[in-house]
Amino acid sequence: MVARETASTIFALATPASASAAALLRIAGSQARVLAQKFCGSDWKRRCVQGSIRLPIGTVPCIAWLMPAPHTLTGRDTLEILVPGNVEIVRDLERLLRECGCHDAEPGAFTRLAVEAGKLSLAQAEATLALVTSSDEVSRRRALADLGGESARRLTDLAARLRTLSARYEMSFDFSEEEHALAQEDRLSGDLRALLADLRAFVGREGSQPRREFPSVALFGPPNAGKSSLFNALVGQRRALVSATPGTTRDAIEADAVFDGCACKLLDLSGVGAGDADLGRYAPQARQRALAADVLLVLCAPGQAADCAHEFTALTRQDAALRSRALWVQTMSDLAAQEANPCGLPQYAVSAASGQGLAALREQLGVRLGELATGGSTSLLRLNATAALTMLEVAAADPLAPTEAVAADVRRALTLLDQALLNDAPGDVLDLIFSRFCIGK
């Protein structure tokens, strides 16, 4: 990013590079006007003009829009050209643009220019990325909120409160003689806790963990607990083999599924425990995947409660926190009365055959996945908000922390929020963000 030249002109194809009725090229920079002149003559009183471009193959008709600086996305002169969407024509046109001194836009280049020109906040730029790459409804909803600046506004409010709090801490040291009520230590720590709760809510709701893939929902249980039937019912199509022979599901079968707008990877794990036809050959893998799952469904057919409880308890010995991620699902609820589960997990009774209880389970999965908050992007806004939260939580949780040390953490947390909100991220962070744009330049 060092060789950023302010004078250079960049271009990119804005439509898919395949045969289509029309292809749109976007050009930003000082050459835009020159090219507009070249293709469409001098009549630029109107913004949209028909013209023609001489390419090796012949003269190609085009429609062009010239948007003069500074009121454009990038803050520079911008030209958009519509030509017939033939791959060869587009290739020739791109070659011509290079000959005219334009450069191929790097991923994210237009958006980066927009950020640098102050036309777009960093949060909005990231939202653009999140929006074009999002594959589920929740991510799209969040990205739209970010794009509209809603998340930034909320975080701005939190930052403003943190700034006031920081000023009060500073006042308590630098103007201690004044003995101002706002600077009293107990009021400061009380207000810090209140602010922490709101910041936690922001981070929790907005999602903070950068995720590289969808969260996983694993179906776990003894052979013939009804895992594959439930799997198919949840996916909505016959993806897994469903068989009456125990152990048909050899290792694990995956499918993408969506619950209440939240995408996830649904895993049908191999059966574990009693009655395993493969003598536990796949059980170790199944247990490992169960431990790694974001949501674990412990499936239990009538009469299997003891086996299921035994297996689940064994897992919790490796990871006690698994309990908070697990749901107890009694299958074949149309065949038998519901039994209480011995592990005390939240319990759902379903029948894949009749569809009974499926809606409630789907709804719960939506809630659980929503809490996991995929977000689909490593947004600086959220990363920094999370880092600030962690910093403040550590400071607030230490009863021995001297006030001036807490005040120092408050200042650092504020710097993190300001960096995210004022587009003042370190250069390497910016490069990381913009390098992740591969489409929608």
Partner 1 sequence: MSAILRDMSLDVIVVGGGHAGIEAALAAARAGARVCMVTFERAGIGRMSCNPAIGGVAKGQIVREIDALGGAMGRLIDATGIQFRMLNRSKGAAVISPRAQADKDAYQKAAQALCEGTDGLTIVEGEAVELLVSGTAIAGIRLADGRQLHAPRVVLTTGTFLGGLLHYGEEKISGGRAGEKAAVGLSGQLRALGFRLGRLKTGTPPRLARESIDLSALQQQPGDEPAEPFSYMTGKLAVQQVPCWVTHTNTATHAVILENMARSPLYSGQIVGIGPRYCPSIEDKVKRFADKTSHHVFLEPETRDGDTIYPNGISTSMPRDVQDALVRTMRGLEQARIVKYGYAVEYDFVPPTQIDASMQTKLLRGLYLAGQINGTTGYEEAAAQGLMAGLNAARTLDSREPVVLRRDQAYIGVLIDDLTTRGTDEPYRMFTSLAEYRLRLRSDNADRRLTPLAGQLGIIEPARSRRLQAKLADYARAETLLISERVDGKRLFDWLRTPQFEWSTVLSRLPALSALDPEALQTLEIDARYAGYVEREDAEIARLHELEAVSVPRNLRYEDMTNLRKEAREKLAALQPLTLGQAARIPGIGPGDVSVLRVYLKTGVGVPVHG
Task: Check binding of 405 to partner 1 (CB under 8 A).
Answer: yes
End-to-end CA distance of the chain: 16
Build a one-symbol-per-residue string for 202-241: x at contacts with partner 1 by CB under 8 A, - elsewhere.
----------------------------------------
Kindly report the backbone phi and psi dihedral angles of residue 363, in degrees, each rounded to the nearest multiple of 5, phi listed first.
Answer: -60, -45
Comparison of 170 and 191: residue with beta carbon closer to partner 1: 170
**Single residue of 173, 256, 336, 359 touching partner 1 by CB under 8 A:** 173
Task: Check binding of 117 to partner 1 (CB under 8 A).
Answer: no
Task: Check binding of 426 to partner 1 (CB under 8 A).
Answer: yes
Q: Which amino acid is at 355?
A: G
Rounded to a whole number of angstroms, the minimum distance from the CB of residue 173 to partner 1 is 4
Task: Check binding of 73 to partner 1 (CB under 8 A).
Answer: no
Task: Check binding of 182 to partner 1 (CB under 8 A).
Answer: no
Q: Is residue 181 classed as helix, strand or coil in its secondary structure?
A: helix
Name the token pair of 313: 């308890």
Q: How far apart are CA 254 and CA 239, in angstroms?
A: 9
Task: Check binding of 425 to partner 1 (CB under 8 A).
Answer: yes
Task: Check binding of 409 to partner 1 (CB under 8 A).
Answer: yes
Comparison of 58 and 427: residue with beta carbon closer to partner 1: 427
Q: How far apart are CA 365 and CA 258, in angstroms?
A: 9
Task: Check binding of 172 to partner 1 (CB under 8 A).
Answer: yes
Comparison of 175 and 359: residue with beta carbon closer to partner 1: 175
Q: Which run of H or E residues covers position 62?
A: strand 58-67
Phi-psi bin for 33: left (phi > 0), alpha (psi -120 to 50), beta? alpha
DSSP state of 270: P
- The order of strands in the sheet holding 48-55 is 48-55, 58-67, 78-85, 20-28, 9-13, 102-104
Task: Check binding of 106 to partner 1 (CB under 8 A).
Answer: no
Task: Check binding of 170 to partner 1 (CB under 8 A).
Answer: yes
Torsion of CA 392, 398, 403, 408, to 10 degrees: -40
Query: Among the candidate windows 16-24, 42-50, 140-148, 406-414, which touches partner 1 by CB under 8 A?
Result: 406-414
Comparison of 164 and 176: residue with beta carbon closer to partner 1: 176
How many residues bind partner 1 (CB under 8 A)? The answer is 30
Rounded to a whole number of angstroms, the minimum distance from the CB of residue 175 to partner 1 is 8
Task: Check binding of 184 to partner 1 (CB under 8 A).
Answer: no
Q: How far apart are CA 300 and CA 313, in angstroms?
A: 14
Q: How far apart are CA 131 and CA 149, in angstroms?
A: 13
Q: Which contacts (CB < 8 Å, 24+ apart) does range 5-9 have?
A: 8/101, 8/102, 8/103, 9/101, 9/102, 9/103
Rounded to a whole number of angstroms, the minimum distance from the CB of residue 395 to partner 1 is 9
Task: Check binding of 181 to partner 1 (CB under 8 A).
Answer: no
User: Using CB under 8 A, which residues numbered 371 to 400 contact partner 1?
Assistant: 400
Task: Check binding of 1 to partner 1 (CB under 8 A).
Answer: yes
Residues 6+ away with beta carbon under 8 Å from 101: 8, 9, 31
**Single residue of 62, 327, 430, 433 touching partner 1 by CB under 8 A:** 430
Task: Check binding of 337 to partner 1 (CB under 8 A).
Answer: no
**Alpha-carbon distance values, 201 to 52, 194, 222, 389 (Å):** 56, 11, 38, 10
Residue 420 contacts residue 122 (beta carbons within 8 Å): yes
**Single residue of 43, 157, 174, 256 touching partner 1 by CB under 8 A:** 174
Task: Check binding of 432 to partner 1 (CB under 8 A).
Answer: no
Query: Among the candidate windows 42-50, 89-97, 363-371, 405-413, which touches partner 1 by CB under 8 A?
Result: 405-413
Q: How far apart are CA 398 and CA 130, in angstroms?
A: 37
Rounded to a whole number of angstroms, the minimum distance from the CB of residue 413 to partner 1 is 12
Query: Among the candidate windows 65-73, 124-132, 382-390, 418-426, which touches partner 1 by CB under 8 A?
Result: 418-426
The residues that touch partner 1, with contacts defined as CB under 8 A, are 1-7, 116, 170, 172-177, 400-405, 408-409, 411-412, 424-427, 430
